[in-house]
Each structure stands twice: as structure tokens, then as C-alpha cells.
């Protein structure tokens, strides 16, 4: 159970604003990968939360009439990375968010939440700085738009006023047209780690590809908030595209970056890698600019389901408010706790249960349905032992509220067995390849393997390693796990080709 005072479910953008006005101490929860973890750690204990997780109007990517890319703040990292518009026009953003955490975190984490928490290490933030992104905020006084560089006030603090929520991230056509870029995240591990330093660079070259027309260099963890290396950018404009020029530009970033000493890295080390990463990122950005031209007008179809903010919609209700007696069609009041009726499909069967709104999906699956393959491990989304599939994607159920499961299709390890208890191909492969050791993490790993296998794609071993990176095996049996998944993948692909 999470230690929360109340949970309110918003039904629209307008209703969210009203809830925030009625409950000025309430905090917004989007994907929850930050808020719920901090609540578990005690940092947000006892907080009131306004959940906007169900607002599909704030999801997706759209190309507007003037060529502006509009990114819904509730769009998950994984959906941004896969989106055709992102890949075509601002591919670096997709590459950057594809380095966040592990696959399960990328499925639940949202780009809006990533920049609204105000941390300097956010992978999307420095990249959005390099794209000159604009943040759209909607509140009681209407809509306002501010450059992302002005959105950050100080470490952990952004320009989000009382009653406001983020309703869009905009990248204008003039900010991406003709630019190519690259992002490098320096971290101790290849997954499930925050950046020691991040560098995102976009370049625009002259028509003959011999001169820097424009350069944007942005950093994360090089200061208290994400930042642009403005002196380095100015020094590079008009310079010839040579290794010597890129070396000079990289040296100039020391006039801008202000890293600090921390347990992750010293100030001197961060200053050193600031130069190194800038040079490497510049080289790759130039290579991409030389290899590809800018997209032509009208070349890309409109893709995505992002709806613009609608009319004020009355409705919605508090589904949890300790000590109050309000009751609505989705909530049941019982003393100091509030409950909600959740209807969903679990392993192919229709289910319904009255759940405490403080409960995680792990709690519901284990306590209400005795699905004990869903393990309680770290309970902060790091180990992957509680991993389940929701609507075809994998999630750490420990940082997924049970109330969000309403209307969802959920699958756990128990749903993989045949009618007579026979094992699925992937389960048998884990036995054959000795991929099962203590067995604690095995159910969660197998569910990730199911998502991989059901894609119908062929992956390299390195790609499989990344797709399984959201799991920490206590017995360190990673090679045998990879062998089992690879073996099953090849078996299924060969069977489909017959």
C-alpha cells in the first residue's frame, strides 16, 4: 500500500484544473515512476494525488498545420521512441528516451513527467533543450507557452503555477528542419541508471556541407538544471566543418558548464567528459547531416492520436479522500479508506474486485487473485520481479496503481500454461537452458520474453540484452536467460516461415 491521503482521478484537462484548484495541496501523478517511488521512500508520504493517467487526450504525437511537432506529455518513452514522426523529424529525442531506465520504466514513464520533476539528469530534457522545445501549460487563466530553457527555475523546481498542468511539448518546424543531431549518455551501466553526464548536439550545415550554419549544444548534469553551452555554440557558427573546428568548439564548452562534485563523479571528471562527449556527439551529428537531407514539406503523414484540449467538462469525482463521506459511481466509502471497483481481464478471464486506491497492481494480483508469480522485490521499479503484461506491454506492477487496471487486459505467468498444465515454449526453454536458478526473478523475466516473442521480430543478441535489461537477476544467470529467449525466438521464426 502507498501512503497517500487521497487520490482523485481526472476525467479531462479541464477537470484536472478544477481538482487542482479545489485541492491546492494535491500533486499530479502521470505515469508514477517518480511519484510512487518517492512516496515509497517517504518523500511524498501522506500526499494528495490527482491522477491524469487516464487522459488519452494528452497522449500521442501530431504534426500541426504549420509543421510544429506536438508531443503529448503523457506519451510514454517507449511510444516516443517508436513513433514515426519522432523518428523522421527529431530522431535524437527518440534515441535519448530509449536510454531511460529499462523497458518497463520506458513503458510507464512519460515525457511530461520527466521534465516536470525538474532534475538535471533527465535524458529527454537536455535533448529538448537542443531542439529549442516549447512547453505548453494550461491552467485557470488559460494557455501559456514558454521555452523549455525558461521552464526550469532551479534544481527540482519548474515554472508550473498553482492549478496548471502541462498539456504539450512543441518543437517548431524552424527548430528541426535542416538539423541533424546525436545524444550521448555517460553512465556507469548501460541500463537502469541515471546519467553521470548527458550531451545532446544538433547541427545545421551549409548547402555544400562545409560550414556550420548553426549549432545547438545541450547538457544534463553539467549544472543544477539542463543547460545550453551558448559560448560554444556561438564560437562554432560559421566555422568550417573540420576536426580542428570541432576540437575548438568542444574546448569552449568549459565556459558554460558548471558541474559539481558528487558520489557519482568529481567536478574535474565531468568537465573532462563534457569536452569529450561534445566532440564525439558533434562528429556523429555532422556525419548524419552529411548523409541525409532535411525532410521535405508534406513528406510525412499525420500520425498519432493527440487531441487538442477540449471544452470544460464538468464531472469526475474524488475516488479517495480519507475522512470524507463523498461517494460516486466508481468509489465506495468505508471509514478512513476509499475503494474502487476495478473490472479487467486477467489471463483471459473477466475479473472484478473492490480495491483500495492505495494498492499497487502487485497487491491486487497477489492478494485478490493469488497470482503469486508476481513477486514483491524492490517495490520501486528496479528489479523487475513483479513484471506483468498490460495491454500487450510489460510493466513493473509495483509502481502501477491497481485502480489504473480498470478496463485493461493483464497477463501473468499463470496465463501461459495450457489447459492441462503444459508449459509454454519459453517456459520449457528456461528449463532446457538452465536459465532458472533461485527462480525468484524468473516469472518477471519470462513475461518480458513473451512481449519480445509476440512482436514476431528477429532480434540480435545485443538487442535481446537491452530488451531484458529491466531485470536484475540475483543469481547472475544472464547468459542462460539470453540463450533461452534466443532459442525460443528462432524456433518460432522458423515455424512461421514454414
Specify the pLDDT at position 316. 44
Give buried/exposed letters for 238-276 (b at 16+ CB in 10 A, else e). Answer: eeebeeebbeebbebbbebbebeeeebbeeeebbebbbe
In the three-class reduction of DSSP (H, G, I as helix; E, B as strand; rest coil), residue 1 is classed as coil
> What gap in Å lies between CA 265 and CA 450, rounded to an integer?
38
* CB distance 131 to 93 below 8 Å: yes
* CB distance 404 to 444 below 8 Å: no
For 260-291, give the DSSP string: ---SS--HHHHHHHHHHHHHHHHHHHHHHHHH
For cell 493517467, the residue is 53
Specify the pLDDT at position 300. 41
Higher pLDDT, 126 or 475: 126
In the predicted structure, residue 301 carries a pLDDT above the cut 50:
no
Q: Which tens digits make up the pLDDT trace of 319-329?
A: 544 333 333 43
> What gap in Å lies between CA 262 and CA 273, rounded to an integer?
15
Q: Average pLDDT for residues 438-461, to the nearest whole number?
A: 96
Specify the pLDDT at position 475. 87
**Cα first-last separation, the chain:** 49
Higher pLDDT, 189 or 355: 355
> What gap in Å lies between CA 388 and CA 395, rounded to an integer?
6
Residue 116: closest CA among 73, 87, 76: 73
Enter the C-alpha cell of residue 226: 539542463
Q: Which residues pair with 144 in a beta bridge?
A: 137
In the predicted structure, residue 315 carries a pLDDT above the cut 90:
no
Specify the pLDDT at position 336. 42
As a whole-number percent, the residues of the chain with pLDDT over 70 amount to 91
- pLDDT band with cut points at 50, 70 and 90 for residue 293: low
Residue 306 gets which letter from DSSP? P
- pLDDT band with cut points at 50, 70 and 90 for residue 474: confident
* CB distance 166 to 112 below 8 Å: yes
Kindly report the CATH class assigned to 417-497.
mainly alpha
User: What's the pTM?
Assistant: 0.90
Q: Average pLDDT for residues 474-487, to the nearest whole number?
A: 92
Element (H or E) spanning 494, and its range?
helix 478-497
- pLDDT band with cut points at 50, 70 and 90 for residue 274: very high
Residue 295 gets which letter from DSSP? P
CATH for the stretch 60-291? 3.30.465.10
CATH for the stretch 4-53+315-413? 3.10.20.30
Residue 385: closest CA among 375, 400, 395: 375
- Tell me the backbone φ, ψ of residue 469, rounded to 5 degrees: -75, -5
Q: Where in the chain is the domain with CATH 3.10.20.30?
A: 4-53+315-413
- pLDDT band with cut points at 50, 70 and 90 for residue 497: low
Q: Average pLDDT for residues 132-153, to the nearest whole number?
A: 97
* CB distance 199 to 183 below 8 Å: yes
Q: Where in the chain is the domain with CATH 3.30.465.10?
A: 60-291
Query: What is the average pLDDT value for the chain, to the nearest integer?
Result: 91
Q: Average pLDDT for residues 160-186, to the nearest whole number?
A: 97
Q: Where in the chain is the domain with CATH 1.10.150.120?
A: 417-497
> What gap in Å lies between CA 247 and CA 279, rounded to an integer?
6
Q: Which tens digits make up the pLDDT trace of 249-258?
A: 999 999 999 9
Specify the pLDDT at position 496. 72
Specify the pLDDT at position 294. 46
- pLDDT band with cut points at 50, 70 and 90 for residue 476: confident
R_g of the chain computed on alpha carbons: 24
Amino acid at each position: 500500500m502507498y501512503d497517500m491521503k487521497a487520490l482523485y482521478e481526472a476525467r479531462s484537462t479541464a477537470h484536472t484544473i478544477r481538482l487542482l484548484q479545489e485541492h491546492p495541496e494535491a500533486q499530479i501523478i502521470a505515469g508514477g515512476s517518480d511519484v510512487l517511488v518517492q512516496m515509497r521512500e517517504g518523500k511524498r508520504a501522506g500526499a494528495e494525488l490527482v491522477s491524469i493517467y487516464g487522459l488519452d487526450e494528452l497522449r500521442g504525437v501530431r504534426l500541426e498545420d504549420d509543421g510544429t511537432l506536438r508531443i503529448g506529455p503523457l506519451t510514454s518513452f517507449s511510444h516516443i521512441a517508436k513513433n514515426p514522426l519522432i523518428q523522421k523529424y527529431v530522431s535524437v529525442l527518440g534515441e535519448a528516451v530509449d536510454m531511460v531506465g529499462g523497458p518497463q520504466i520506458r513503458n510507464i514513464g512519460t515525457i511530461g513527467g520527466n521534465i516536470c520533476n525538474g532534475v538535471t539528469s533527465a535524458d529527454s530534457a537536455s535533448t529538448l533543450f537542443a531542439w529549442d522545445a516549447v512547453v505548453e501549460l494550461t491552467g485557470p487563466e488559460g494557455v501559456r507557452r514558454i521555452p523549455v530553457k525558461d521552464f526550469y527555475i532551479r534544481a527540482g523546481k519548474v515554472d508550473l503555477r498553482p492549478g496548471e498542468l502541462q498539456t504539450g511539448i512543441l518543437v517548431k518546424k524552424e527548430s528541426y528542419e535542416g538539423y541533424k543531431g546525436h545524444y550521448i549518455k555517460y553512465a556507469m551501466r548501460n541500463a537502469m541508471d541515471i546519467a553521470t553526464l548527458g550531451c545532446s548536439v544538433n547541427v545545421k550545415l551549409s548547402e555544400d556541407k562545409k560550414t556550420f550554419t548553426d549549432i545547438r549544444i545541450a547538457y544534463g548534469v553539467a549544472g543544477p538544471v539542463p543547460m545550453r553551452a551558448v559560448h560554444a555554440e556561438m564560437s562554432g557558427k560559421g566555422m568550417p566543418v573540420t576536426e580542428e573546428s570541432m576540437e575548438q568548439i568542444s574546448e569552449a564548452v568549459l565556459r558554460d558548464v558548471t558541474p559539481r562534485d558528487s558520489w557519482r563523479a568529481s567536478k574535474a571528471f565531468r568537465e573532462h567528459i563534457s569536452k569529450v562527449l561534445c566532440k564525439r556527439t558533434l562528429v556523429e551529428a555532422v556525419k548524419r547531416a552529411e548523409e541525409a537531407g532535411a525532410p521535405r514539406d508534406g513528406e510525412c503523414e499525420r500520425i498519432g492520436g493527440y487531441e487538442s484540449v477540449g471544452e470544460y467538462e464538468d464531472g469526475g469525482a474524488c475516488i479517495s479522500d480519507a475522512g470524507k463521506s463523498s461517494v460516486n459511481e466508481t468509489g465506495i466509502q468505508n471509514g478512513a479508506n476509499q475503494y474502487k471497483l476495478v473490472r479487467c481481464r486477467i489471463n483471459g478471464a473477466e475479473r472484478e474486485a473492490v480495491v483500495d486506491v492505495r494498492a499497487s497492481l502487485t497487491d491486487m494480483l497477489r492478494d485478490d487473485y493469488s497470482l503469486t508469480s508476481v513477486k514483491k522485490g524492490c517495490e520501486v521499479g528496479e528489479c523487475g520481479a513483479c513484471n506483468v503484461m498490460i495491454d500487450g506491454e510489460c510493466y513493473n506492477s509495483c509502481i502501477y496503481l491497481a485502480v489504473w487496471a480498470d478496463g485493461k487486459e493483464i497477463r501473468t505467468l499463470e496465463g501461459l500454461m495450457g489447459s492441462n498444465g503444459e508449459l509454454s515454449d519459453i517456459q520449457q526453454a528456461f528449463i532446457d537452458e538452465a536459465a532458472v536458478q533461485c527462480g525468484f526473478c524468473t516469472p518477471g523475466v519470462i513475461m518480458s520474453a513473451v512481449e519480445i516473442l509476440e512482436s514476431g521480430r528477429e532480434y540480435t543478441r545485443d538487442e535481446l540484452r537491452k530488451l531484458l535489461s529491466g531485470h536484475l537477476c540475483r543469481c547472475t544467470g544472464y547468459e542462460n536467460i539470453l540463450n533461452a529467449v534466443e532459442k525460443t525466438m528462432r524456433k518460432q521464426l522458423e515455424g512461421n516461415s514454414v
